[in-house]
Structure 1
Amino acid sequence: MVHDVAIIGAGVVGCAMARRFARAGARVLLLERGADILSGASKANSAILHTGFDAPPDSLELRCMQAGYQEYLTIRHAMNLPLLDTTALVLAWSETEAARLPDILAQAHRNGVADARALTRAEVLAREPRLAASVHAGLLIPGEAVIDPWSAPLAYATEALRHGATLCFGATVQAASFDGAAWLIDTTRGRFGARLVINCAGTHGDHIEALFLGRSHFTIRPRKGQFVIYDKAAAALLGAIVLPVPDDRTKGVVLTRTIFGNLLVGPTAEDQPDRDRATVDPEALTALMQRAETMIPALKNMPVTAVYAGLRPASDAKHYRIHAEPGRGFITVGGIRSTGLTAALGIAAHVFDLCALPDTAPPPQPPPMMPNLAEHLPRDWQHPGYGEIVCHCELVTRREIEAALHADLPPGDFGGLRRRTRCAMGRCQGFGCHARLAELTAGHLTPPLALPRERRNG
Structure 2
Amino acid sequence: MSLTPVSPREDLFDVAVIGAGVVGCAVVRRFALAGAKAILIEKGADILCGASKANSAILHTGFDAPPSSLELALIRAGRQEYLEIHESRNLPLVRTGALVCAWNDDEAERLESIAETGRANGIDGLTLLSGAEARRTMPALSDRLAAALEVRDEHVIDPWSAPLAYLSEAVALGARFLRQAELLAGRFDDIWHLETSAGPVSARAVVNTAGLHGDTVDERLGFAPEFRIKPRKGQFVVLDKAAARHVPRIVLPVPTEITKGIVVCPTAFGNVLIGPTAEEQEDRNRAAVDARTLQALLARGSEIVPALAGMPVTAVYAGLRPATESKAYRIFVRREKRAITLGGIRSTGLSSALGLARHALELHATFAAPLAPPQTAPPVPVPNLAETRERDWQRPDHGEIVCHCELVTRREIEAALESPVPPGDFGGLRRRTRAGMGRCQGFYCHARLAEMTKGRLATPLAVDAEDRNR
TM-score, structure 1 as length reference: 0.97
Equivalence for 1:400: 412
Question: Which of 307, 312, 322 pairs up with 1:298?
Answer: 307
Equivalence for 1:25: 35
Alpha-carbon shift at residue 91 of structure 1 (Å): 0.4
1:365 aligned to 2:374?
Answer: no
Equivalence for 1:261: 270
Equivalence for 2:4: none
- CA distance in structure 2 between the aligned counterparts of 1:272 and 1:450, rounded to whole angstroms: 30
Equivalence for 2:61: 51
- CA distance in structure 1 between the aligned counterparts of 2:101 and 2:243, rounded to whole angstroms: 20
SS of residue paired to 1:79? coil
* 1:245-256 map, 5 Å: 245-256=254-265
SS of residue paired to 2:202? strand
Alpha-carbon shift at residue 448 of structure 1 (Å): 1.9
Read off the aligned partner of 2:293 and give its amino acid letter. A
* 1:52-451 map, 5 Å: 52-179=62-189, 181-356=190-365, 357=368, 358-450=370-462
Deviations 1:383-409 (A, max 9, x none): 111111000000000010000000111
Alpha-carbon shift at residue 169 of structure 1 (Å): 0.2
Structure 2, unmatched stretches of 5+, are 1-10, 464-470
Structure 1, unmatched stretches of 5+, are 452-458
Alpha-carbon shift at residue 338 of structure 1 (Å): 0.3
- CA distance in structure 2 between the aligned counterparts of 1:340 and 1:367, rounded to whole angstroms: 22
Deviations 1:299-341 (A, max 9, x none): 1121100000000000110000010013011111000000000
SS of residue paired to 2:184? strand
Alpha-carbon shift at residue 197 of structure 1 (Å): 0.7
- CA distance in structure 2 between the aligned counterparts of 1:190 and 1:449, rounded to whole angstroms: 25
* Matched-pair identity in %: 58
Equivalence for 2:48: 38
Read off the aligned partner of 1:404 and give its amino acid letter. A
Which 10-residue stretch deviates more, 438-447 or 334-343?
438-447
Question: Which of 6, 10, 16 pairs up with 2:20?
Answer: 10
- CA distance in structure 2 between the aligned counterparts of 1:214 and 1:126, rounded to whole angstroms: 55
Deviations 1:78-133 (A, max 9, x none): 10000100000000001111110000000000000122110111101111111110
Which 10-residue stretch deviates more, 133-142 or 322-331?
322-331
- CA distance in structure 2 between the aligned counterparts of 1:350 and 1:377, rounded to whole angstroms: 32
SS of residue paired to 1:186? strand
Alpha-carbon shift at residue 162 of structure 1 (Å): 0.8
- CA distance in structure 2 between the aligned counterparts of 1:307 and 1:67, rounded to whole angstroms: 32
Read off the aligned partner of 1:264 and give its amino acid letter. L
Is the Cα contact below 8 Å between 2:45 and 2:459 reproduced in 1?
no
Alpha-carbon shift at residue 365 of structure 1 (Å): 3.1
Alpha-carbon shift at residue 266 of structure 1 (Å): 0.3
SS of residue paired to 2:318? strand
Read off the aligned partner of 1:49 and give its amino acid letter. L
Deviations 1:321-370 (A, max 9, x none): 01001301111100000000000000000111112142310122321111
Q: CA RMSD in A?
A: 0.9
- CA distance in structure 1 between the aligned counterparts of 2:452 and 2:345, rounded to whole angstroms: 37
Hey, which bits of structure 1, 4+ residues long, moved more than 6 A? none
Alpha-carbon shift at residue 439 of structure 1 (Å): 1.4
SS of residue paired to 1:213? coil
- CA distance in structure 1 between the aligned counterparts of 2:223 and 2:158, rounded to whole angstroms: 38
SS of residue paired to 2:86? helix
Read off the aligned partner of 1:191 and give its amino acid letter. P
Read off the aligned partner of 2:60 and give its amino acid letter. H
Which 10-residue stretch deviates more, 66-75 or 358-367?
358-367
Read off the aligned partner of 1:94 and give its amino acid letter. N
Alpha-carbon shift at residue 449 of structure 1 (Å): 2.6
- CA distance in structure 1 between the aligned counterparts of 2:458 and 2:270, rounded to whole angstroms: 29
- CA distance in structure 1 between the aligned counterparts of 2:131 and 2:155, rounded to whole angstroms: 22
Alpha-carbon shift at residue 216 of structure 1 (Å): 1.2
Read off the aligned partner of 1:90 and give its amino acid letter. V
- CA distance in structure 1 between the aligned counterparts of 2:124 and 2:54, rounded to whole angstroms: 30
Alpha-carbon shift at residue 260 of structure 1 (Å): 0.3
- CA distance in structure 2 between the aligned counterparts of 1:447 and 1:7, rounded to whole angstroms: 23
Alpha-carbon shift at residue 236 of structure 1 (Å): 0.4
- CA distance in structure 1 between the aligned counterparts of 2:354 and 2:448, rounded to whole angstroms: 37
SS of residue paired to 1:287? helix
- CA distance in structure 2 between the aligned counterparts of 1:177 and 1:102, rounded to whole angstroms: 52
Which 10-residue stretch deviates more, 209-218 or 170-179?
209-218
